Chain A
Amino acid sequence: MTDSVPSAGADQAAPAAASAPVPGLSANAAALTAVALAVQVVEMTKRFPGVVANDCVSFEAAEGEVHALLGENGAGKTTLCNLLMGLYRPDAGKLFVGGRAVRFHSPKDAQDAGIFMVHQHLRLVESMTVAENVVLGWSPSRQFRFSPGKVEKVVAEASERFQMPVDPRARIWQLSLGERQRVEILKALYRGAKVLILDEPTTVLTPQEADQLFSSVRDMTAEGRTVIFISHKLPEVLAVADRVTILRQGRSITTVPTAGTDADHLAGLMVGHEVSLEAAAKLAEEAGPVVLELAGVSARGDLGAEALKDVTLEVRAGEILGIAGVAGNGQRELAEVITGLRETTAGSISLGGSRLPAGDPRAAIDLGIAYVPEDRMGTGISPNLSIAENLMLKSYRRKAMRSGPVLSSRKAIANAKVAIERFDIRAPGPRTLIRQLSGGNIQKVLLARELSSEPRVLVAASPTRGLDVGATQYVRRTLSETAKSGVAVMMVSEDLDEVLELSDRIAVFYNGRVVGVVEAADANRQQIGLMMAGAS
């Protein structure tokens, strides 16, 4: 194993072909039975408290196939991968690898079966060399000594064979994100990957790097490996995959060969066909003056790449501007730029005509920008402080919260009691630690705090994510009422139904840019789905 990267198909083909007939095969697979199946998922179900993340999901991928899993966020892609990787155990259903039924208890089991995953967030040791990372935690021959030369040779050879240029002696921190991803792939190949799962691999890549990746993927499948390609971007799915399985709300909707389909069709399958009645019923009310205005705003993401590119938007008083898009296309950066949590690299943001200082959260708060962040527990609240203290997280600087020079706990409690009453927060009392509350009640505390400051602008990012039906309804109603009271509301959501239901106008984000802004009244699900997936 240490001598060269093995080519996959050869040694595994025989047993797989022998045990081909398995119940639950679709018509598509029947056409492919000539080719051995590498992975087969049969009616797999995984439940979490309150949600069914995977509901009878089935799909199969043949050897030498690039099989895409396409779906919106929350469609169950990640859960499915974690099941394949042995990170979760299914509640029901079967998994076959190379025709044999397997049950994984840990990622180690999955790797022993030849299934490897390249995660979106790469897992490499930055201070070590490429070769060292490749062998880290992996010693098939149980040899104690690590001979870098040998590994470097194998890595160099493999990187040439799959057109993934990377210097085996380079240290990880010296490499670009694209190169790091190649290291992850080489690592999997070195360890004998037969099935390689790529989780949203192009997120960190430039278009050129992405093209290069696709051609490397082709080289790998030409040797009999299987690549499972997770994505929500239609163009790249069409470019690289042989077949696509569409996941929607935890179910596998269908599997189609990419040869006979187009982006339109896939987008329809991905977002579903139902027409949102609420959106149609909404009457275009008289929107007020422009309150928040972004002109040519750009910003970097956490990884240093440009995540927001030349964004120009405006939000009017009394309207909800919905920001649609698949997660990771710049929406979080957009919200953070407006609220001062992220520096801009270009452009300007103005509030009621006057320019907002960039990267200054306190100024944004003082000027009346309220923010319900996506990361509720990590950013929106201080988990080990009480409800009362969290409610004054932004108002503690005001005189109203003090008696003399010290903070008045009496006033804080009184303030909390009002909020608990008004926002129907279910809690033992104002002194309860906020981390003890349910997600819905935490969100109510957040809304209570943000709205009690009488803001001019409310930015709400994924405000209903993870909430149960009742809390979701409550939050949506609150957002609508807030807009009606004259606040300019910007709502970021990956849930297209939510965006359609609540928004007056919808701006669609793809790859850090505004692809288009449409009136919700004449918005078309399919059209927005296409824009979200970058096929304009």
Chain B
Amino acid sequence: MTGPLRIERRLDTPKWLKVAVPLASLLLAAILAGILLASTGHNPISTYHQMYSAAVTAPGGLTSTFVYATPMLFTGLCAAFAFRMRTWNIGGEGQLYMGAVGAAAVGLCLGDWPRPLLIIAMILGGALSGTVWAAIPALLRAYLRTNEILTSLMLNYVAGFFMYYLIYDSTSYWRDLSSPGASVFPTGKTLGPNATWPGINIGSFTLPMGFVLGIGLAVGLLVLIQKTRYGFEMRVMGDSPNAANYSGIRTKRKIVSVMAISGGIAGIAGSSQIGDFGHVLDPRGLEQAQYGYTGIVVAALALYNPLAVVLVSLLIGGLTNAGFALEGPSFPTGLVGTMEGIILFTVLGGEILARYRIGIRRRAVPAASAAQLTTGGVAS
């Protein structure tokens, strides 16, 4: 009611604006980050050039961009899918850990299965573990009305400790107890050759199988959301839970199943970490990467659109990759994180511009109504 800014929701966002706003936001982010770089004594242009070459053109650069992007693609889809219905699954991190635990168990246990079967089993093992882990906050939310943000977040720590316990504090099935190095420093058992997921080689560039799987999943989720009864129910619930209940949608079951699918996707991120890259359950590495939390940023930047998640995961993956390449005494890690933050702010800020019309309120209104009041009083 008060304040100089007048914010109105746009009835219709023109198509060109939907494209122009994110592009302009990225440009603005580049300018803002450039100012930051310049003020810390780096030449922005040459830094951007260095980053580009590190992430794309340098030998192995593009491959490692995809290595970073693959888990972010899954965790991004995990968050985007759940957030689409306004169920806030912040537990992608823990669901990824549990997925890795599950996939590693399958890979170790069924190591002598034929490769294609074993890979499918690993994917399912990871997905199932993530699903079960996500089902805990989902059931609590649906039937006991707890806040899923808090419970899913806290379960991330539980999953982290569980993973550490398996490798560092117990003689579990996952821990390597036989090789000579393992007696010095605890590590997990390395999976056999059949459990290694094949990459697609194009020259010197290797496309991880997980990324291809992720693209397929993104397309599948888009179809699910846009074309099916399941997705229709999700969209109604995300828009108006009251209307969903009114139209006979089983809202509690819906929350559980959406969270479970979301957790399953994060679980596949864990499978891919084991099958595509690590081949061993490495608690420390998984925890430091924080792919689950990055996935939330990816989903937000993609505006919860599964296909956009593919592109954004590559963008953030490239940035992360470049950040590690540039990192050194004169280029602190924090700078890359700050740049990611700037992009997040500009893109989400830009989204407000796309959805709302913002104008300046004129202050003449009170005077006019006061005049009306006196004349009206005389007239009557």
Contact = CB atoms under 8 A, between A and B. Distances in A.
Contacts of A352: none
Given A56-B380, A383-B240, A406 B228 contact: yes
A36 B248 CA distance: 59
A49 to B, nearest CB: 15
A183 to B, nearest CB: 26
A378 B379 contact: no
B110 interface: no
B248 A89 contact: no
B227 A43 contact: no
B373 interface: yes
B245 A389 contact: no
A94 B379 CA distance: 12
B86 interface: no
A407 B372 contact: no
A115 to B, nearest CB: 18
Interface string A259-277: 0000000000000000000
B377 A361 contact: no
Interface string A371-399: 10101001111111100010011101100
A299 to B, nearest CB: 16
Nearest to A366: B248
A94 B242 contact: no
Given A92-B376, A383-B239, A406-B227, A394 B11 contact: no
A140 interface: no
Contacts of A92: 372-373, 376-377, 379-380
B366 interface: yes
Contacts of A380: 243, 246
A93 B377 contact: yes
A103 interface: yes
B369 interface: yes
Interface stretch (B19-27, B229-237, B312-320): B229-237
A394 B248 contact: yes
B232 A407 contact: yes
Contacts of B242: 375, 378-379
Nearest to A377: B240
B248 A362 contact: yes
A402 B231 CA distance: 13
A524 interface: no
B235 A379 contact: no
A428 to B, nearest CB: 10
B361 interface: no
B228 A94 contact: no
B228 A361 contact: no
B370 interface: yes
Contacts of A120: none
A382 B243 contact: yes
A91 interface: yes
B239 A384 contact: yes
B243 A393 contact: yes
Interface residues of A, number: 41
A272 B373 CA distance: 30
A105 B366 contact: yes
B369 A89 contact: yes
A385 B366 CA distance: 37
Nearest to B237: A382
Interface in A101-152: 103, 105
Interface in B15-68: none
B247 interface: yes
Contacts of B372: 91-92
A341 B242 CA distance: 10
A431 to B, nearest CB: 11
Given A378-B242, A393-B236, A45 B248 contact: no
Contacts of A361: 245-248
Given A90-B373, A105-B366, A394-B248, A379 B243 contact: yes
B6 interface: no
Contacts of B250: 362
Contacts of A364: 248
Nearest to A371: B246
A365 interface: yes
Interface string B243-261: 1111111100000000000
Interface in B205-250: 223, 227-229, 232-233, 235-236, 239-240, 242-250
Contacts of A362: 248-250
Interface string A338-365: 0101000000000000000000011011
A89 B373 contact: yes
A15 to B, nearest CB: 22
B11 A436 contact: yes
A396 B240 contact: no
A43 B246 contact: no
A363 to B, nearest CB: 8
A379 B12 CA distance: 23
A94 B376 CA distance: 10
Contacts of B366: 105
Interface in B326-380: 366, 369-370, 372-373, 376-377, 379-380
Given A103-B373, A396-B229, A43 B380 contact: yes
A389 B239 CA distance: 12
A207 interface: no
Contacts of B223: 406
A405 interface: yes
Contacts of A379: 240, 242-243, 246
B109 to A, nearest CB: 35
Contacts of A371: 246
Contact of B373 (A91, A381, A402): A91
A339 B247 CA distance: 10
Given A89-B369, A393-B236, A405-B228, A45 B380 contact: yes
Contacts of A339: 246
B246 A341 contact: yes
B373 A385 contact: no
A78 B268 CA distance: 56
Nearest to B378: A92
Contact of B229 (A45, A341, A375, A397): A397
Given A379-B242, A405-B228, A365 B248 contact: yes
Contact of A382 (B12, B229, B239, B377): B239
Interface in A64-107: 89-94, 103, 105
Contacts of B233: 396
A366 B250 CA distance: 14
A263 to B, nearest CB: 33
**Chain A CB within 10 Å, residue with most, of B12, B223, B247:** B247
A45 B369 contact: no
B291 to A, nearest CB: 31
B51 to A, nearest CB: 38
B232 A396 contact: yes
Contacts of B247: 361, 365, 393-394
Contact of A407 (B12, B229, B236, B239): B229
A105 B367 CA distance: 12
A93 B376 contact: yes
Given A93-B373, A394-B248, 15 more contacts: A92-B372, A92-B373, A361-B248, A375-B242, A382-B236, A382-B240, A385-B235, A392-B232, A396-B229, A396-B233, A397-B248, A405-B228, A407-B232, A433-B11, A436-B12
20 contacts: A89-B369, A89-B373, A92-B376, A92-B379, A92-B380, A93-B373, A93-B376, A103-B370, A103-B373, A341-B246, A361-B245, A379-B240, A382-B244, A383-B240, A385-B235, A393-B247, A394-B247, A396-B233, A397-B248, A405-B228
